[in-house]
Every structure is written in C-alpha cells, then in structure tokens.
Structure 1
C-alpha cells in the first residue's frame, strides 16, 4: 500500500541540511565534556572609575557646559560634589531651587555667615533697583539720577531673583554677589537665567564698624 505525502520545497530541504551539517561540525570539534562558552560580559567597574564623573557631566552653575578638555582642573575650581542639572529655560519658580543648589555646589561658601547675609541683602536690592527702578534712592552713589523720571528697563511684576550667592573675590577684603534672575523687558520679552555680578569691598568706618561697600563696574 502506498501513502501519499505533500512535496517539500527544495530550498527548505537545502536549508535544513546546511543547518544540520554546521551543528554536527561544531559538536565534533568540541572536546568531550566541555560546555559551550558563556557569553562575554563587561568587566565590573572599579571603585575609582565609578567615583570620578566624566568631564561632560560637570556643568557650570550658570548652565554653560564645562569644556570637555582632557586636562585635569585644579582642586580650587573643581566642585566637591556633582552639581545638580540646571532646569530648562521657562521652568518657572519650580526650577529656582535647582539653580540655587547648582551655584552652591560649584562655589562652596568661603565667607562668614554674617558677611554673606549682608552681601546678599545688598546685592539683591541693587539688582532690583537697577532692573526695575525700585529703591534707587537708597543708593545715591550707584544711581545719582534716581530723582529723575526714567522708565525702568524691566517690569516690576515680572522680575524675579532665581538664585544668589556671595563669595570672596580673590582677596579677604573683596567679595562678589552672583545673581541669576528673570524679567520682562520693555519690549515684552521675558527671559530667565540672566546673570549679574555686583562687587563689594570691605571698609571700616571711623567708629571701627566694618561694612561692605559697593564697587563700580570696571
């Protein structure tokens, strides 16, 4: 009695034969009892390699990427911790804390707490007066024409200081207040992550009281 079967494709038979032949050669070439090699895995990182972030991971407190030059930066300019990532433009008040943390991580505090508070108060007030015109009369040396009617460059309602730090400026008797702020100009354009620096020197009055005095831009 004959049985009928469906014809097989010659191409399928040829492929099956080739696969079987390759498998047989591989088994014959392997020593008896030896297991197939395990897939290669990446070697574990050492502690020193994982602790040092890549140069591209460090960021400038103001948002500009640090150069990816392979040269090692000096210890004075290297942040002690990895700085938080800056928020994107237009993040709003929610992103201000990240900017503040980034500044503090990039430039560790180097002034007495009382001096830092005094400088921050003065720096914030000067920036607000300069940008919006509010409070210029308190700084006659900085704004000698504050009594004249001058339209402010930025709207008071849309002005906001996003972050600020006060640090030494190359000597114990000099300091700089570094501020990051947002504002809407006269043309109606709102921009955040603006940067302003105000410089101060430490002076002593006739009574012996020390204070910080604003220095004009050079």
Structure 2
C-alpha cells in the first residue's frame, strides 16, 4: 500500500514547524558565561640574605717561612666590619679596629699576663715582618744571624691593634695582631692579621710565657 502524494506537503510543513520551534528554544535558553581566566600576580622575589660578619674565633697558626707568613693575611675576619674604618684610613682608624677586637673577644687573662703577652707578640711580629730583632728569638727563627731580606720595610711597618686571650686553657694563649706595612715590591696593605701562640712554663716557681714555634 503506497502513501498518498497529497500528504507530502503536510509532512514538510510539520517538519518545518518542528525545526522553527527547536531553533527558537535554542535561542531563548540562557548560555552559561565562561569565567574569564584570572592571572596570578607575580610573586615578589625573596630577599637576598646578607652574610653576618663573624668574630675572630677560628684562628689558624701561620706556617712556612717568616716571609711567607707575613706576606699573607690570615682568614680570621675582624668583627663588626661595618664599624671598621675604610682601608687606608691610617693611624686615625686604629682605635676603631682595637675596639672592634676587644668587643668581639672579651678579656679572659690577668692584666699582668696580658701585658707580657702583648709586648712579646708585638716584638715577634716586628722581627718576623722586618727581620729586626730576630736574634732575640733563636728558637722561633732558625739561623737568626743569617742575612735574610726582610719582607717589609722597618720604617713603613705599623701595628694597628692587638689583643691577648686564652687559647683553650689558662696555660695557653694567643696574641692576635692587626698590622700594616709596605712590602719589598712597594705595595702598602693594612689590616693584615697574624696570630702568635704561647704556652705558660714554670721555672723555680716563676711562670713565663714562651712563644711556640710554627709547626
């Protein structure tokens, strides 16, 4: 049995109406807005840490020949670097260096012992750097009578600051010296650092501070 051709226009009309209704429904349904992407504000860079100056606590005994020892500066930093005078300040800046050492390393020796150690340490440093007075310390400077060109000029040598403190026990001490000088090449450098170590020895009831040879 075949479909009557008269029904075809009606079928097309129905399909057209359905499509129109569907289109109207689609246009009237509210569309869900898409949330705009939010940009994350850039993070502030982390602050760069600044190293804190350390007090003269790690003290290294100098090694090698006297010229080698005085020509190099020990790794011990001075305390309160920001409070120190600039390099090349001359004698006017020595007081600030002395105070920096004393503040960072409190006194722990008897006043008499400290004075003896400071006097010996200053003489030893001068002898080591300039060659002047080495004969007084034959146990420290091998062949003190031998002619050795001094590493630093006697007239351009200056001790800027010095302290004497215990070195682990009441019978051991270290003299910590900061100094300036002009070497054989004519180069001036200040705030050089040298340590001299001493041990207390007793003879017939009298105690003496004896400098220790470099090892």
Q: Does TM-score exceed 0.5, indicating one fold?
A: yes
| Residues 140, 214 of structure 2: 8 Å contact kept | no
Aligned-residue CA RMSD in angstroms?
2.2
> Judging changes above 3 Å, is the alpha-carbon distance between structure 1 residues 56 and 171 closer, same or farther for their aligned structure 2 residues?
same
Which runs of 5 or more structure 2 residues have no equivalent in the other structure?
Answer: 1-49, 57-74
Matches within 5 A, 1:1-40: none
Partner of 1:187: 185
Over 3 Å off, 4+ runs: 55-66
Please name the residue that 2:42 is paired with: none
Q: 1:91-126, CA deviations, whole angstroms, 9 ceiling, x for partnerless residues? A: 100000000000000001000000000000000000
Q: 1:215 aligns with which of 207, 212, 215?
A: 212
TM-score normalised by L of structure 1: 0.63
The structure with higher relative contact order (CA 8 Å, sep 6+) is 2
Task: Provide structure 1 residue ranges, at least 5 long, that are not aligned to the other structure.
Answer: 1-54, 67-81
Assess if the C-alpha contact under 8 Å between 1:99 and 1:163 holds in 2: yes
Counterpart selection for 2:105 from 104, 107, 114: 107
The alignment partner of 2:152 has SS state of coil
Please report how far the alpha carbon of residue 208 of structure 1 lies from its aligned counterpart in structure 2 after TM superposition.
Answer: 1.3
Give the number of equivalent residue pairs: 148
Deviation, structure 1 residue 57: 6.9
Larger Rg belongs to = 2
